[in-house]
Amino acid sequence: MCAMAAASLHGTSIDGGLAEFVRVEKSRLVPVPGNVKPDAVALVEPLAVVVHGINRIPITSGMKAIVVGAGSIGLLAAAVLVDRGIEVDIVTRHPHQNLAAEALGARAVSTPSHNYDFSFDAVCTQQSFDACVSATRPRGSIVEFGMVWSPVGLSNTLMLKEISVIPSMFYSHDHEHHDFEEAVDVLSRNPHIAEALITHRYSLDDAAKAFDTANDRAGGAIKVHFFTN
């Protein structure tokens, strides 16, 4: 939420993870417990995105939530919600997403039900937004993860139900809370998250093949990771 954040984002305005070497500020280093495996550490960043969005709404154990979209962000959202005692349905499209959802403790569905306390849009299209509006109870909340690449219109259904729409972009920290630190804590307590999401592993020599695999969601990819010797 810093006004200068856009000028210091790794991978956009300054060198990112695909550079051979990356110099970072000491304040951006987050310690990781020894029980967290190296492949799981690579999930900290997307998990921090999810933690940030979930922390923007008042969640209480026992509530019901729907996640629309079963890519890495959607599945990680389901994992964090389950960790907080929330009953979670997630809209999936492929068999491997169903298996991942089950491993994370969520229920895979093809169509949302109704009267969820919260909905999480991990697709950010008009279709996914409308699905969230339909599924959310009156005076519930919709969290929009990430970028809306084309205009999304509001509907009278949203207005009549007085649903709150909450945007969530990236992550943040202050003197009381750090999204990255919470993400590390979630991973250290839940090793099954990495086991469910990391579907492919490649060496740097196979980078081109790795990107092709990542682009083929129907082929079984969720998270594709590089490993070095």
Residue 160 pLDDT > 80: yes
Is residue 113 included in any domain, yes or no? yes
Residue 88 is part of a domain; what is its CATH number?
Answer: 3.40.50.720
Q: Is residue 209 part of a domain?
A: no
Within 10 angstroms of residue 115's Cβ, the number of other Cβ atoms is 11
When pLDDT is averaged across residues 166-175 and rounded to a whole number, the result is 87
Helical H segments across the chain, by residue range: 38-41, 44-54, 72-83, 95-103, 126-135, 156-161, 179-189, 192-197, 207-215
Q: What is the pLDDT of residue 197?
A: 96
Tell me: pLDDT of 229 over 70: no
In-domain check, residue 215: no
Residue 216 falls within a domain, yes or no?
no
Contacts of 184 (CB under 8 A, 6+ apart): 30, 31, 32, 33, 36, 44
Model pTM above 0.75: yes
How many other C-beta atoms lie within 10 A of the C-beta of residue 51?
25
Is residue 207 within 8 Å of 214, Cβ to Cβ?
Answer: no
Q: What are phi and psi of 203, to 5 degrees?
A: -85, 165
Helix/strand/coil for 19: coil
- On whether residue 166 sits in a domain, the answer given is yes
* Structural domain span for residue 48: 39-198
Total domains, the chain: 1
Does 17 map to a domain?
Answer: no
Q: What is the mean pLDDT of residues 3-9?
A: 79
Give the Cβ contact number of residue 41 at 10 Å.
Answer: 15
In a domain, 85, yes or no: yes
Structural domain contains residue 94: yes
